[in-house]
Amino acid sequence: MELTALVLLGSTAVGKSSLAFRYVKNDFKETLPTVGCSFFTQLVCLDTATIKFEIWDTAGQEKYHSVCHLYYRGANAALLVFDIARKETFDRAKAWLRELEKEFLHDEILIVLVGNKTDLSAEREVTLEVSSILSPRLRDQCLLDHLLQKNVTRALNRVSTARRNGQDRCPDFPMAGQVPHGAAVALFDCCNYAVYTQNIFQQAFQCLWTYLASTL
Ligand SMILES: Nc1nc2c(ncn2[C@@H]2O[C@H](COP(=O)(O)OP(=O)(O)OP(=O)(O)O)[C@@H](O)[C@H]2O)c(=O)[nH]1
């Protein structure tokens, strides 16, 4: 059985643990801030293989920052979570993006920026104009889509299909001609309070897993 690791990174209280819990248990509950790191596993049956995915939910408090590299180092995918109603959490996600860019070659990791707490959209501080955050290198190589989870599903589906067919380009993709060899950056919004979030994640993660499986 293949093993693939995903790490959740982001400021404290952006909703990383809630997101993992919503995905794994389809539930929501108040939890204390994570200490160090929490760990979940999920078995995913794909057409071609059964894969065991590890989900590393890191602690967002600044005092734990220095240990986060222990968890992201072996990761195949990283979800950089921010709170759409707190701009500083988006700045932190950008810092994570830069750090991962330094640590990984472009074909080594799949990165997804997750704008959480869309129920607070009236207080939104992070606008949709986020493409400017990406470095030219990433912008060229990434799959950047709009802040809609269905587009992530579509984006990742496209990439994995293209990869399965041995193509290295995905010409009809709206914002990026190049299908990266492993690396992708996508964006999507979610809300852990909503039951539908689990379905969104099921779909998005299924694509993510499929995508990762195609790179194993
Ligand atoms: N409004 C709103 N609040 C949320 C949402 N998801 C989580 N929260 C709340 O945000 C707070 C922090 O959630 P956590 O999941 O513990 O956040 P975290 O990012 O894991 O925090 P650390 O463990 O400190 O890194 C809690 O009070 C949650 O109830 C959401 O979608 N919308």
ipTM field: 0.99
**Range 88-104 average pLDDT:** 85
Cβ of 114 below 6 Å from ligand 1:
no
pLDDT tens sequence across 118-159 = 788 788 887 654 444 544 444 433 443 333 344 444 545 554
Which of 18, 55, 62, 126 is the pocket-test mutation for ligand 1 (most atoms within 8 Å of CB)?
Answer: 18
pLDDT, residue 138, reads: 42
Distance from Cα 17 to the centre of ligand 1, integer Å: 7
Cα Rg for the chain, rounded, in angstroms? 16
pLDDT tens sequence across 34-66 = 999 999 887 777 666 677 778 899 999 999 999
Phi-psi sector, 36: left (phi>0), alpha (psi -120 to 50), beta? left
pLDDT, residue 151, reads: 45
**Range 186-192 average pLDDT:** 61
Cβ of 192 below 6 Å from ligand 1:
yes
Length of the chain: 216
Using DSSP's 3-state secondary structure scheme, residue 142 falls into: coil
